[in-house]
Amino acid sequence: MTTTTTPPPPNASGTASWRGVASEDQDELPEKVSVLLRARSRRLLGNLLRPYRKKITLLVGIIVVSNAAGLSIPFLVSIGIDSGIPPIRQGSGPSVLLTVVGVILAAAVTQAITRQAFLRLSGRIGQSILLELRRRVFDHFQRLSLSFHEQYTSGRVISRLTSDIEAIAELLQSGFDALVKAVLTMVGTAVLLLVLDVHLGLVALVPLPLLLLFTKWFRRQSAIVYRRTRETVALVIVHFVESMTGIRAVQAFRREPRNQEIFQQLNDDYRGANARSMQLGATFMTGIKLIGNMTIGGVLLYGGWLALHGEVKVGVLAAFLLYLRQFYEPMQEVSQFYNTLQSAGAALEKLSGVLEEEPSVPEPREPAALPPGGARGKVRFEGVRFAYVEEMPILPRLDLTIPAGQSVALVGATGAGKTTLAKLISRFYDPTEGRVLLDGVDLRTLDEPTLRQAVVMVTQENFLFSGTVADNIRFGSPDATDRQVREAAKAIGAHEFIAGLPDGYDTEVGKRGGRMSAGQRQLVAFARAFLADPAVLILDEATSSLDVPSERLVQRALRTILADRTALIIAHRLSTVEIADRVLVMERGEVVEDGPPARLIAASGRFAGLHQAWLDSLS
Amino acid sequence: MPPDTHKPRRPLLSSNSLWRMKSYLRPYATRLVFIWLAAIVGIGAGLALPLISEQVIDGPVAHGDSAGLLPLGLLAVGVGVVEALLIFFRRWAQVKPVLGLETRIRDDLYEHLQRLPMGFHGDWQSGQLLSRATTDLSTIRRFLGFGMLFLVMNILQLITVTVLLLNKYWPLGLLVLASSVPIVWTSLRFEKRYIKISRQVQDEQGDLATLVEESALGIRTIKAFGRRHHVYDRYDDAALKVYGSSMSKVRLSAKFFSFLEIIPNITLALVLLLGALAVGSGALTLGALVAFTTLMLQLVWPIASLGYILAMGQEAMTSADRLMEVMDTVPAIEGGTQTIERPRGHLRFEGVGFRFADADEPVLRDVWLEVKPGETVAVVGATGAGKTTLTALVPRLLDPTSGRVTIDGQDVRDLKLTTLRQVVATAFEEPTLFSMSVRENLMLGRRDATEEELAAAIQTAQAMFVYDLPWGLDTRIGEQGLSLSGGQRQRLALARAVLSRPRILVLDDTLSALDVETEALVEEALRHVLREATGIVVAHRASTVLLADKVALLRDGTITHVGQHQELLAQVPEYRELLAQDADFDGASEGALR
């Protein structure tokens, strides 16, 4: 992996200065792709293949039989010509010929059957491995902590699970079979040629070293060209997609001519890369064909001379001509297949890297239980310290108890540590020091289902999944009945607008007619959280994208929702804070004021000042 | 296919669409003739080799004529070299027309798509458009560039060899000809089924990709509710489907490819049997039998690939249809011819109504609003009241379905699009940033802006954070670059709009994602900008409303009240309902917390 740590000078890319500079994408193919994978990729591969050890052994047996049968046919033809024809000429009947033809037919049938068996079995193994890999990587991504995802970004997660898996699928589907067949055919043919006639065989194999050198040259060139093609096409795609998704801005700002200019340039670069790739292919194909044809010519000349002097039979010469055809053709396939192998190798490399990541918020080995009767919702911070970077703690040391059922509002400027506090309670992160307790149990000892049943966080960026509105609300509690879903929506005040959608609760989210405003989406998210019915509910700026009427609606609902559960509310609107039992004013990771809103207003601290300013703005 | 009203209602004739692409090949006519010639001569050279072998066996070898061997052998080598060289020249010559065709069509498609209006782009996902610009184009390129050539070459080769074989010894020729029938028939059938199952696999992989996307983008929500297993189960179902279809595909090809090998082998056995008998009876020479076996094997690939190539042609036709469907869409919003010499920025909505093509209810109806030069109007309304639609009518991202919008008395539809969009600039609520440098992103609307103007716009939008980025203004942002927060993105969008120095500035709730301290600073700076330009500001908060000289209240798609903020607050209950509780805690906190 190559990572640029020092920024290159601006405009280093010359003509493409419009793109700007970014740190090199860490996912790019490593500079020198070796077919020999790194240790971790090999481990993963071994691990994936292990369950199929017996089947693979069987597979090897089948393929050897299949190839032997296939290779024997031209040989049998030569026997037919050399030993079958003389008896007929001498009038002693075609019995030898018939035997040979019978054997050829048997070989042909054997080859077809074993070939089919091979294709099926190798296909099954390949697809099973692919399925296992898909499952493993997906599950692993879901297990990895939020801190990982925040750094890794969704785009990379998506390409791991789509294009990388597909690169491996491509290898299994199109390349693997061709490779095995080609290698076995070449080795088998070479051996057979030597067995048939050592001298002629040696002559036929003379160009082999040249061929190998040529192939090596091609592989190296093709790696470069392939990389260039991939890079250029990626730029074309990005520019195309961004122009289309951002068409509103493009048109509003008369960007079209400049876009066209850039696109044509990118498209032309892609054309150039493709042209080089095609020219390289042309050169290689020609080379192979040239070597093959010249060998055939040479064999014909030398073989003819040998036959002339009775040192080799005509049938053997015929067999040579047949074999040489199949000797050179697989070579082309193998080389074309090299790109597939290369990208699959790189993909495996990246996937094995992901699978080696450990969740920074691990599941407990022996999960503890909450007190009988489920969570009550008492939250306690004991000497909690939290820092992303050791020297700059977000929370230097926090001790705090929130009794079950209390609604707490967190107030403070950006960077005061409000969101960190919320993330610690929902265990998106673990504290650097100290512990966070729910009903007296350390969060780190609770297993995921128990914890998530008890603590739910609703943020500003709420995600709606494809599916209906009802499905999305039911995400909070997958077993809920339609009635319960409706009840939740009613409680939150979302029923009215949902009922007004084209298909009501069955409206597909995201499709036409199901397009919802940010506020409406947030109401669905609230209904989802309400349906989940957690003992502790955290709202992180959850109402900030709502317009005033929607917010008012939610606030009314919030009073009902918060009534019998612990709640932590982070909001910059004072109206939301008002419904809290207790207000915490935070500053640089510390609680500087703590008390019921009324008492804090009566005092002359920070909160009182804020409240006064708010009242003033209302008048 | 998306529901769409922009598509032309014409019957699609498959070969027709593909045929229309031929004009893209016209510049390469001479080259194409050369390619075809090289291909045909190449076939001849390829067939010559087995025939020379026959001569060697029947001539010098049979008669012990060592002097005759050398010329024939050298001829074989020579023909081999010529064949290889012809392949080389043909393939090399193909590069230009094949890629030229693809590149030109892609350029044209892109140009066309940029001209199509928002309505079109709302109906078509960018992924659908992309697959036309990449997958479909490659399919067309492959067929027009290679497929068609191979199709003709293969048929030619097939005919030549069959004639040759029939000529040599007709029973064997007939046998070989007969053996090609099951191969062609099976490959045609196979291709049809193979394409069907491949499409199915592709679709299922697409569904799987959607689930992957959601699992990545919605990771916070999944984690917050602990729904890992729920999401995994959904994914696993889809992955199993892909597995199932892939296995059908494997079984299908396994059957086909083993069939493809057994037929030639059986034929070979029969050729040997009949041929040897014929040689025994003197009807055929030994050399001819050897030539027969090699020629026969040379036919396997051309025959088998016929089905493949025909299927490729079919696919190319479908792709051409898909491409033409987009190319034939006529841009619904075309610019007029008028220009405005010195725009003053006098904006009027005159009885404007708007209804989406597939909706029953109009979004806007009978909207009357006047914004005088230099004046700023805030548009206030509940969610879904039509505020964004209203603002989109000014730069003609949408056209009204009734009434008209005028600037300085001219209907915007009479103006040249470049003129109009130079006069009007919009900062959107959801800002679009492209994967380009900060500079390029900001200069979207004005490429000739000076460094000073750029700096001033950045200052106005309070976007000074760009100077702290790793490479300053040259840092790449957007999807492929550095990711920015919602507030940072909005400030860049604002700077972009300010930089284009419009006479009319539209701010579509541009400040919603800013934290309150920044918002105050931005508003202060905006006041200066808006003093010089005509402004329309979509607002959710009282603080934003205060940027405007007057407020228009949009309710149920029409403007019910126009007046001063305080006035409306006092007199209109609906207005109070929308803005009264809007007091920002953090905003007020400025003084109190310090």
* CATH number, domain containing residue B440: 3.40.50.300
Query: pLDDT value at position A106?
Result: 95
Instruction: Give the angle B481-B487-B492 at the CA atoms, nearest 5°.
Output: 60
Please write the tens of the pLDDT for every residue from B236-248. 999 999 999 999 9
CATH code of the domain containing B103: 1.20.1560.10
User: What part of B 151-190 touches A (C-beta under 8 Å)?
Assistant: none
Q: Are A97 and B289 in contact (CB under 8 A)?
A: no
SS3 B261: helix
- Predicted model pTM: 0.78
A11 pLDDT tier (thresholds 50, 70, 90): very low
Q: Which of B4, B225, B421, B500 would you mutate first to test chain A, the one with the most A CBs within 10 A?
A: B225
CB contact under 8 A, A572 and B250: no
Q: Which of B272, B360, B388, B546 should we substitute to test contact with A (largest number of A Cβ atoms within 10 Å)?
A: B272
User: pLDDT tens digit string along A96-110?
Assistant: 899 999 999 999 999
Residues A509, A482 contacting (CB under 8 angstroms): no
Contact between A252 and B259 using a beta-carbon 8 Å cutoff: no
- Contact A256/B477, CB-based, under 8 Å? no
**Which 3 state secondary structure label does DSSP give A401?**
strand
**Which of B64-78, B206-220, B401-415 has the largest mean confidence?**
B401-415
CB contact under 8 A, B91 and A80: no
Chosen for mutation from A153, A293, A411, A524 (greatest number of chain B CBs closer than 10 Å) is: A293
Work out the end-to-end distance of chain B between its first and last CA atoms, rounded to an integer number of angstroms. 58
Whether residue B381 lies inside any domain: the answer is yes
Mean pLDDT value across residues A474-496: 90
ipTM for the assembly: 0.82
Residues β-bridged to residue B376: B535
- pLDDT of A7: 40
CA A180, CA A333: separation in Å to the nearest integer? Answer: 11
Kindly list the residues from chain A whose CB atom is less than 8 angstroms away from the CB atom of residue B56: 300, 304
Instruction: State whether residue B296 sits within 8 Å of chain A by CB.
Output: no
User: Smallest Cβ distance to A155: which of B127, B382, B479?
Assistant: B479
> Closest Cα of chain B to A480: distance in Å?
14
Tell me if B103 and A267 make a contact (CB, 8 A cut-off): yes
Q: What is the mean pLDDT of residues A230-241?
A: 87
Cβ A153 vs Cβ A369: under 8 Å: no
Neighbours of B565 (CB within 10 A): 19
Q: Do B481 and A97 count as a contact with CB atoms less than 8 A apart?
A: no
Per-chain mean pLDDT for chain A: 83
Q: In what order do the strands lie in the sheet with B364-371?
A: B364-371, B347-354, B402-407, B410-411
Residue B591 within any structural domain of the chain? no
CB contact under 8 Å between A101 and B269, yes or no, is yes
Q: How many Cα atoms sit within 13 Å of B406 on the Cβ side?
A: 13
Report the 10 Å Cβ neighbour count for A39. 8
Residue B15: predicted pLDDT? 62
pLDDT value of position A616: 64
| A284, two tokens | 């290689």
The DSSP line for A282-330 is HHHHHHHHHHHHHHHHHHHHHHHHHHHTTSS-HHHHHHHHHHHHHHHHH
Domain shared by B323 and B367, yes or no: no
pLDDT exceeds cutoff 90 at A425: yes
Same domain, residue pair B357 and B439: yes
**Beta-strand runs (E) in B242-363:** 347-354
3-state secondary structure of B127: helix
The confidence score (pLDDT) of residue A335 equals 67
> What average pLDDT does range B370-394 have in this prediction?
88
Instruction: Write down the pLDDT at residue A572.
Output: 67
Q: Are residues B59 and B161 in the same domain?
A: yes
Q: Work out how many domains chain B is built from and give that number.
A: 2
CA distance B444 to B422: 12
Determine, for residues B269 and A246 on separate chains, whether the beta-carbon distance falls below 8 Å. no
pLDDT computed for residue A62 by the predictor: 93
- Tell me if chain A has a CB within 8 Å of the CB of B204: no
| Shortest Cα distance, chain A CAs vs residue B14, angstroms | 26
Residue B150 one-letter amino acid = F
Q: pLDDT-derived band of residue A484, with 50, 70 and 90 as boundaries?
A: very high
Domains of chain A: residue spans and CATH: 26-197+312-355 (1.20.1560.10), 379-618 (3.40.50.300)
Cα angle B459, B460, B464 (rounded to 5 degrees) comes to 30
- A77·B268 Cβ contact <8 A: yes
pLDDT of A135 > 90? The answer is yes
Planar angle of CA A28, A33, A35, nearest 5 degrees: 135
Nearest-neighbour CA in chain A from B219: distance (Å): 8
Whether residue A238 contacts residue B418, with contact meaning beta carbons closer than 8 Å, is answered with no
Q: What confidence score (pLDDT) does residue B513 get?
A: 64
> Rounded to 5 degrees, what are φ and ψ at B382?
-70, 165
A186-232: per-residue pLDDT in tens? 888 888 889 888 888 998 888 889 888 998 898 888 888 888 888 89
Q: Can you read off the two tokens belonging to residue A239?
A: 């520019």
Q: What are phi and psi of B186, to 5 degrees?
A: -65, -40
Cα separation, B443 vs B457, whole angstroms: 10
In this structure, the answer to whether residues B307 and B411 fall within a common structural domain is no
| CB < 8 Å from A in window 374-393 of B | 382-384
- What kind and span of H or E run contains B424? strand B424-427
Q: What is the pLDDT of residue B114?
A: 92
User: CB of A192 within 8 A of CB of A320?
Assistant: no
**Distance, in angstroms, between B520 CA and closest chain A CA?**
14
* Residue A25: Cβ-neighbour burial (10 angstroms; 0-12, 13-18, 19+): exposed
Model confidence at A615, in pLDDT bands (50, 70, 90)? low
Return the pLDDT at A242: 86
Looking at the predicted structure, is the pLDDT value of residue B109 above 90?
yes
Q: Which residue from B50, B102, B254 is facing A123, i.e. has the nearest CB? A: B254
What is the spatial distance between Cα A300 and Cα B287, in angstroms, rounded to a whole number?
12
| Within-domain flag for B241 | no
Of B92, B253, B417, the CB nearest to A119: B253
Residue of B91, B104, B110 to mutate when probing chain A, most A C-beta within 10 A? B110
* Rounded Cα gap, residues B346 and B408, in angstroms: 5
Distance from CA of B103 to the nearest CA of A (A): 6
Could you tell me if B407 and B323 lie in one domain? Answer: no
Residues of A in contact with B583 (CB under 8 A): 573-575, 614, 617-618
Tell me whether residue B367 is in a domain. Answer: yes
What's the CA dihedral at A334, A339, A341, A345 to 10 degrees? 160
Q: What is the pLDDT of residue A131?
A: 95
Are B466 and B553 in a shared domain?
Answer: yes
As a whole number of Å, the CA-based R_g of chain B is 36
Is B453 inside any structural domain? yes
Residue B403 clears pLDDT 50, i.e. is over it: yes
The span from the CA of A445 to the CA of B336, in Å, is 69
Domain limit, last residue, from B295, B327, B359: B327
Mean pLDDT score, B213-232? 87
Indicate whether B583 pLDDT > 90: no
Residue B5 has pLDDT above 80, yes or no: no
Residues 317-356 of B with CB under 8 A from A: none
- Are residues B384 and B474 both part of a single domain? yes
Residue of B nearest to A548 (CA): B578
At residue A29 the predicted structure's pLDDT band, cuts being 50, 70 and 90, is very low
Residues B149, B296 share a domain: yes
Chain B CB contacts of A245 under 8 Å are 126, 432
Cβ of A73 within 8 Å of Cβ of B358? The answer is no
Interface contact A101-B222, CB threshold 8 A: no
The pLDDT, as a whole number, for residue A37 is 62
Report helix, strand and coil shares of chain A as percent, to nearest 5: 65, 10, 25
Best residue in A429, A465, A543 for a mutation probing chain B (most B CBs within 10 Å): A465
Query: How far is the C-alpha of A285 from the C-alpha of A212, rounded, in Å?
Result: 14
pLDDT digits over B414-436, tens only? 999 888 988 998 888 777 888 88
Instruction: Identify the burial level of A318 via C-beta atoms within 10 angstroms of its C-beta, where 0-12 means exposed, 13-18 middle and 19 or more buried.
Output: buried
| Whether residue B293 is found in the same domain as residue B438 | no
Look at residue B594 in the predicted model and tell me its pLDDT.
34
Dihedrals φ, ψ of B356, to 5°? Answer: -70, 145
* Backbone torsions φ then ψ of B468, nearest 5 degrees: -90, -5
**pLDDT above 50: residue B51:** yes
pLDDT > 90: percent of chain A: 24
> CB distance B418–A123 less than 8 Å?
no
pLDDT, residue A515, reads: 65
Q: Two tokens at B451? A: 């460094």
Q: What's the whole-number mean pLDDT along residues B350-357?
A: 89
Partner A contacted by B584 (CB < 8 A): yes
- Residue A314's pLDDT is what? 82
A88, A271, A609 ranked by CB distance to B592: nearest: A609
Amino acid identity, position B527: R
Task: Show which of B327, B362, B382 is a domain's final residue.
Answer: B327
B26 shares its domain with B54: yes
Per mean pLDDT, which of A115-124, A566-575, B488-497 is the most reliable?
A115-124
User: Please, which residues bridge with residue A468 across strands?
Assistant: A508
Q: Name which of B106, B277, B417 is nearest A94 (Cβ-Cβ).
A: B277
Burial code of B125-139, b = ≥16 C-beta within 10 A, e = fewer? ebeebbebbbebbeb
In a domain, B193, yes or no: no
DSSP state, residue A362: P
Residue B181 placed within a domain = no
Contact B588 A297 (CB under 8 A): no
Question: E strands of A503-575, at which residues?
Answer: 536-540, 566-570
Maximum alpha-carbon separation in chain B: 120
Averaged pLDDT, A103-125: 92
Question: Which of A388-397, A514-523, B119-128 shows the lowest per-residue confidence on average (mean pLDDT)?
Answer: A514-523
CA distances from B294 to A511, A551, B110, B330 (A): 60, 83, 50, 57
- How many beta-carbon contacts under 8 Å exist across A and B? 513
Contacts of A100 in chain B (CB under 8 A): 272
Please tell me whether residues B299 and B395 are part of one structural domain. no
What value does the mean pLDDT of chain B take? 84
CB atoms within 10 A of CB A408: 22
Residue B314 shares a structural domain with residue B431: no
* H helices present in B438-513, as ranges: 438-442, 451-460, 486-499
pLDDT at B580: 67
Contact A119 B586 (CB under 8 A): no
Choosing from B327, B362, B390, the residue where a domain stops is B327
Cβ separation B61–A10 shorter than 8 A: no
Neighbours of B321 (CB within 10 A): 17
- Distances in whole angstroms, Cα of residue B291 to Cα of each of A207, A319, B398, B566, B585: 24, 11, 72, 101, 93
What tokens were used for A393? 């703690």
Distance from CA of A36 to the nearest CA of B (A): 28
Q: Which residues of B touch A325 (CB under 8 A)?
A: 294, 297-298
Q: How many angstroms away from the CA of A152 is the closest CA of chain B?
A: 10
| Percent of residues, chain B, with pLDDT higher than 70 | 93
Candidates A238, A24, A11, A17; CA nearest to B440 is A17
Alpha carbon of A427 to those of A378, A420, A446, A538, A610: distances in Å? 15, 10, 10, 12, 31
Q: Give the list of residues 6+ apart from residue B4 with CB closer than 8 angstroms, or none.
A: B120, B123, B124
Q: What is the pLDDT of residues B176-218, one digit of tens each?
A: 888 888 887 888 888 788 888 888 888 888 888 888 888 888 8
User: What is the average per-residue pLDDT within A400-425?
Assistant: 87
Angle at A452 between CA A451 and CA A453, to 5 degrees: 90
Asked if pLDDT for residue B485 goes beyond 60, the answer is yes
pLDDT in tens, B363-378: 899 999 999 999 999 9
pLDDT at position A429 over 70: yes
**Residue span of the structural domain in which B296 resides:** 14-169+284-327
Per-residue DSSP letter, B26:
G
